[in-house]
Structure 1
């Protein structure tokens, strides 16, 4: 995708960024220079650390019900004086800046974003603007952020700073804390509900001028070069307020990047989808996906819902192959120590990047779309495609779809000496748009096997999905075209599909191509979620002129995915095919949530290629 184009909400390429409201303060070449390091980095680390880390989700011996431990003051309805008293007791004696940065480097991260001030208003650095800080309020003898800046510089890691500019639950004029300051803007109040209220706006702007803007100036003048100023909750401030922050960043550190959550894309260098979003539809050419290792961002004692190394690595590949950066979060304990599970998970990702880094760093999004067997990246400077094979073809012959360029060689990444001549795997062209690679001799990596494909001449690629008869073929709802009022869910776990199916005639569509010489009969699996009220609704799946109907069964409710088998259907010939799922009738207020459709080719003898949920 060209840098002057981006994807709209339906995943379609649109025109110049300026015509879509994407405003730059300088020429595109200057922007490209500023963001070049970030585009090459592809992987970073987030750190959420503050007084909430010491509490760990507990207040006065009881668990506070909050998805994120850093929200304990708000969710636990803790008076500001009591929270401040607890914060004064923060003594992070186990904090070691070089240990943190060393872990980030072992994980393969190229930048680290550290919370300087979260919504609780507590500065995790030596602020001269406010005494509510770790050095002045908690009397910690040194500045943690200063130590982290020095460690990052020593280890070649870019330092980014998180700063909650819109909310501050300690300041009497900010947003969010209506427990202590009932006349203030509430944590969930919309901007349009208060921006014309002279009293609320005046108080909020006093907070911005007294604390937020001066602290941002401190951070941009006292800690060396800052790679990113990472703001949050920008939907709660006005365009004018956003300009105040953007102008200070540009004036004090012109090369510092600004994320979308300052306000929106008009004021930012790159975008941020939802947190922990498994599926996404990028609407900016440069974007970053942030994920927790378990559930909470800040440390929480009882949060044992850890993601597996396989899930983390798959998310890395999913994001990078779509042209984004992945940032994984760690939540150190209040003492400053990092728990063993976080350490092990990040080190596992790091070992994978030691093996596969050339296929991640400095790459661009896949020009061939998302193949059925895994993911792909493109490195223009080397004229190389990198294939991440996760689901292996049953016959050991990998089809590289959508490539019309000539191939010079294809070789596994890893195990080749620095001065050895690359020895190519056997390959052959299959028609004008596909290449077949013999991978029977390739040793499989436990997370993804990487194959480098060097091409000759100009890249000629087509992202249209290709049906492959030797494996399951999955069509994700998030990648489909929608009609009839349905919409893409937030993309998080249990919500990475299409929802809002209130019109029984709504539909999701996909187009794919097949190069199979003979018709291929397939089992049809529909992955959906439905509650008891939705059970009994009906839909049909069509493949070209074929149609099959099915009745929905309860799966356990919202976000609990289940599989419903219907069909079979036949991919009848070579060429383009149209796959569609359309509602027929509702049993409740909505039909279902749809995650994906899978076509499972039936082998001779009646067996089929299985697919996991």
Structure 2
């Protein structure tokens, strides 16, 4: 072993020397700095068309599987070393239990492909510093530290190539909890479990930038030079075509450190990177984590999300999302112009959990019929649809609108608000059954059968003629002078981690429910036709504790107290703004919980009622 380590150290110096030569010869760290719009579009085309990828978090953390010293460690499974404050030497002992004898990369890739997934991103090295391949600069890898003793990435790369799936690598460039000098995100010692030494540990981490073990201390610059940069070179040169490089948590990353890594991207011409390198480099895509942006983003983006509550395997995390939830997430993300990177966390034996397998197969059934409404589509042209989502494909002389119907209309009449194009053809995607579509005063109405073909999402297709011509339809005054902001038209802004507010139905009426997190906020756009004074009311339901909210209408702010109604199903109308004067034009109303004075609330529609018209 000593001779082997000595050889690795010598090789690390040789690799770094080559790296330095590359960096010195390349003054521009960001290889796409001078890329034209056409060049960028060409490079990003495959990724934008794909819409659906698989994330794989796999490593030594799957051995403890969320449990340390008999305690269930809180938080995500791959962070157990940090949240449990496990010493380096003790954590490394878990490698003896990492023996993925049931690993079948061909089976994994086919599972992904049959689910409709187009690309895979796997953790080549996560924050614990453990590499899933035979790294030449450390012995903290699957070949040298585990009884399995074989590279895990090479057979996956071969299987991806065989089955036409693009491969990407996740690499933790900054955080590394086992190599000296690697960065650490500071987490309180009691955040994971009731650690009896928490005061002593917290004092040490406060004095040492989050590190809890003296074995972690060292120069981050040296870590980047001797571990991170050579390893990035390894993963970008030893496994054929790599489509994506996925950086993560740029703790203590500055431009100088990022510049040690960025030139290596050129080893894979055309590679796509995310926005998490640090050092001011934007990457090619933004990465909202564990949430879907309410309205999409103004840049290429990819929502990375789990099937339960963890990325790395945890033996006791059984909070699995339903296939319905996952399919609708995929549709929601595509309708906002993003990609869905859906995670699986294999076990230490090399098996994807059966619950993940079952859900991927359910997604595959839906995609086998409806994938045309996902692949190569772009974002919805509509402001908001109360019944579901829309994706589209545009052509020189027309467009295909894919109508994803989540809530089947009781009267069988589906309205496309503001659509002015002539409909050439309308049909159900699953069985090609023709539908009647006609222009009406507020858009286009499609007549549907009495029952949906799929309760999760039945897709109807509208082929329209010419360039899309759609009036922006947002809530405005009705005949009674009221502007009704329906719950199903709200933009719900959920945080990445924490509970998610969502639509539900109580007593046959829609409301925003599960609003337990004070970071969640909601908003509606609306239009005022004539200058007028309005009062604002809403229907709320909450149990036995009052709650306070702030209401923002453009630049004006108000505060309201919501009193208990006795239950979450007993809705009562409350006034939240007594009077506000609004000019003609588009406005936005936002409701935010008041931190420290918030308790969960169910909220239905918000109504602005005209008090009097002030002028024209």
TM-score, normalised by the number of residues in structure 2 = 0.75
Q: Is the 8 A contact 2:57 2:346 kept in 1?
A: yes
Alpha-carbon spacing, 1:596–1:256, altered in 2? closer, same or farther (3 Å): farther
Alpha-carbon spacing, 1:81–1:447, altered in 2? closer, same or farther (3 Å): same
Could you tell me how far apart the structure 2 residues matched to 1:96 and 1:513 are? 60
Alpha-carbon spacing, 1:380–1:492, altered in 2? closer, same or farther (3 Å): farther
| Aligned mate of 2:85, from 77, 84, 94 | 77
Say yes or no: does 1:103 pair with 2:108: no
Alpha-carbon spacing, 1:539–1:287, altered in 2? closer, same or farther (3 Å): closer
Query: What is the aligned partner in structure 2 of residue 552 from structure 1?
Result: 563
Query: What is the aligned partner in structure 1 of residue 286 from structure 2?
Result: 271
Could you tell me how far apart the structure 2 residues matched to 1:131 and 1:386 are? 52
Residue 338 of structure 1: how far off its partner (Å): 1.6
| Aligned mate of 2:436, from 415, 421, 426 | 426
Could you tell me how far apart the structure 2 residues matched to 1:309 and 1:133 are? 35
Residue 478 of structure 1: how far off its partner (Å): 3.8
Alpha-carbon spacing, 1:491–1:531, altered in 2? closer, same or farther (3 Å): farther
Could you tell me how far apart the structure 1 residues matched to 2:596 and 2:177 are? 39
Q: Where in structure 1 are there 5+ consecutive unaligned residues? A: 1-22, 189-199, 417-422, 480-487, 515-521, 570-574, 601-613
Alignment of 1:324-473 (within 5 A): 324-381=338-395, 383-416=399-432, 424-431=434-441, 434-440=443-449, 443-465=452-474, 473=486
Could you tell me how far apart the structure 2 residues matched to 1:468 and 1:441 are? 31
Alpha-carbon spacing, 1:538–1:446, altered in 2? closer, same or farther (3 Å): closer
Say yes or no: does 1:317 pair with 2:331: yes
Residue 523 of structure 1: how far off its partner (Å): 11
Query: What is the aligned partner in structure 2 of residue 57 from structure 1?
Result: 66
Could you tell me how far apart the structure 1 residues matched to 2:411 and 2:315 are? 47
Say yes or no: does 1:490 pair with 2:495: yes
| Aligned mate of 1:87, from 74, 95, 101 | 95
Query: What is the aligned partner in structure 2 of residue 112 from structure 1?
Result: 120
Q: Is the 8 A contact 2:476 2:526 kept in 1?
A: no
Say yes or no: does 1:598 pair with 2:605: yes
Q: Is the 8 A contact 1:279 1:491 kept in 2?
A: no
Task: Spell out, residue by residue over 1:563-611, the C-alpha distance to the aligned partner (whole angstroms, 9 max, x if none).
Answer: 7442799xxxxx989784779x98x8546677864379xxxxxxxxxxx
Could you tell me how far apart the structure 2 residues matched to 1:237 and 1:509 are? 38
Residue 32 of structure 1: how far off its partner (Å): 1.1
Could you tell me how far apart the structure 1 residues matched to 2:290 and 2:319 are? 13
Could you tell me how far apart the structure 2 residues matched to 1:225 and 1:555 are? 60
Please state whether the residue corresponding to 1:326 is helix, strand or coil. Answer: strand
Residue 384 of structure 1: how far off its partner (Å): 0.6
Alpha-carbon spacing, 1:590–1:168, altered in 2? closer, same or farther (3 Å): same
Could you tell me how far apart the structure 2 residues matched to 1:576 and 1:428 are? 29
Residue 467 of structure 1: how far off its partner (Å): 8.4
Could you tell me how far apart the structure 2 residues matched to 1:264 and 1:391 are? 45
Could you tell me how far apart the structure 2 residues matched to 1:582 and 1:330 are? 35
Say yes or no: does 1:47 pair with 2:47: no
Residue 491 of structure 1: how far off its partner (Å): 5.1
Alpha-carbon spacing, 1:565–1:394, altered in 2? closer, same or farther (3 Å): farther
Could you tell me how far apart the structure 2 residues matched to 1:555 and 1:49 are? 46
Question: How big is the alpha-carbon RMSD for the aligned residues of Structure 1 and Structure 2?
Answer: 4.0
Please state whether the residue corresponding to 1:225 is helix, strand or coil. Answer: coil
Could you tell me how far apart the structure 1 residues matched to 2:350 and 2:522 are? 50
Could you tell me how far apart the structure 2 residues matched to 1:394 and 1:365 are? 27
Q: Is the 8 A contact 1:40 1:361 kept in 2?
A: yes
Residue 40 of structure 1: how far off its partner (Å): 0.4
Say yes or no: does 1:253 pair with 2:268: yes
Residue 58 of structure 1: how far off its partner (Å): 1.6
Query: What is the aligned partner in structure 1 of residue 307 from structure 2?
Result: 293
Q: Is the 8 A contact 1:476 1:595 kept in 2?
A: no
Query: What is the aligned partner in structure 1 of residue 247 from structure 2?
Result: 231
Query: What is the aligned partner in structure 1 of residue 138 from structure 2?
Result: 130
Could you tell me how far apart the structure 1 residues matched to 2:35 and 2:601 are? 43
Residue 234 of structure 1: how far off its partner (Å): 2.0
Q: Is the 8 A contact 1:539 1:551 kept in 2?
A: no
Q: Is the 8 A contact 2:291 2:494 kept in 1?
A: no
Q: Is the 8 A contact 1:65 1:75 kept in 2?
A: yes
Task: Spell out, residue by residue over 1:462-486, the C-alpha distance to the aligned partner (whole angstroms, 9 max, x if none).
Answer: 44346899x994256546xxxxxxx
Could you tell me how far apart the structure 1 residues matched to 2:549 and 2:339 are? 40
Q: Is the 8 A contact 2:183 2:251 kept in 1?
A: no
Could you tell me how far apart the structure 2 residues matched to 1:414 and 1:318 are? 19
Say yes or no: does 1:27 pair with 2:32: no
Could you tell me how far apart the structure 2 residues matched to 1:320 and 1:562 are? 33
Could you tell me how far apart the structure 2 residues matched to 1:361 and 1:383 are? 15
Task: Spell out, residue by residue over 1:267-303, the C-alpha distance to the aligned partner (whole angstroms, 9 max, x if none).
Answer: 3001011x21144454442100011111111111111
Query: What is the aligned partner in structure 2 of residue 8 from structure 1?
Result: none
Please state whether the residue corresponding to 1:566 is helix, strand or coil. Answer: strand
Could you tell me how far apart the structure 2 residues matched to 1:56 and 1:321 are? 35
Q: Is the 8 A contact 1:277 1:289 kept in 2?
A: yes
Q: Is the 8 A contact 2:175 2:182 kept in 1?
A: yes
Could you tell me how far apart the structure 2 residues matched to 1:140 and 1:321 are? 43
Could you tell me how far apart the structure 1 residues matched to 2:569 and 2:497 are? 17
Query: What is the aligned partner in structure 1 of residue 233 from structure 2?
Result: 217
Residue 494 of structure 1: how far off its partner (Å): 2.6
Q: Is the 8 A contact 1:280 1:491 kept in 2?
A: no
Could you tell me how far apart the structure 1 residues matched to 2:417 and 2:279 are? 36
Q: Is the 8 A contact 2:491 2:524 kept in 1?
A: no
Could you tell me how far apart the structure 2 residues matched to 1:43 and 1:383 are? 22
Say yes or no: does 1:147 pair with 2:155: yes
Alpha-carbon spacing, 1:475–1:440, altered in 2? closer, same or farther (3 Å): closer
Residue 265 of structure 1: how far off its partner (Å): 7.4
Q: Tell me whether 438-447 or 301-310 shows the greater mean CA deviation.
A: 438-447
Please state whether the residue corresponding to 2:143 is helix, strand or coil. Answer: coil
Alpha-carbon spacing, 1:324–1:177, altered in 2? closer, same or farther (3 Å): closer
Please state whether the residue corresponding to 2:411 is helix, strand or coil. Answer: coil
Alpha-carbon spacing, 1:135–1:562, altered in 2? closer, same or farther (3 Å): farther
The count of corresponding residues between Structure 1 and Structure 2 is 521
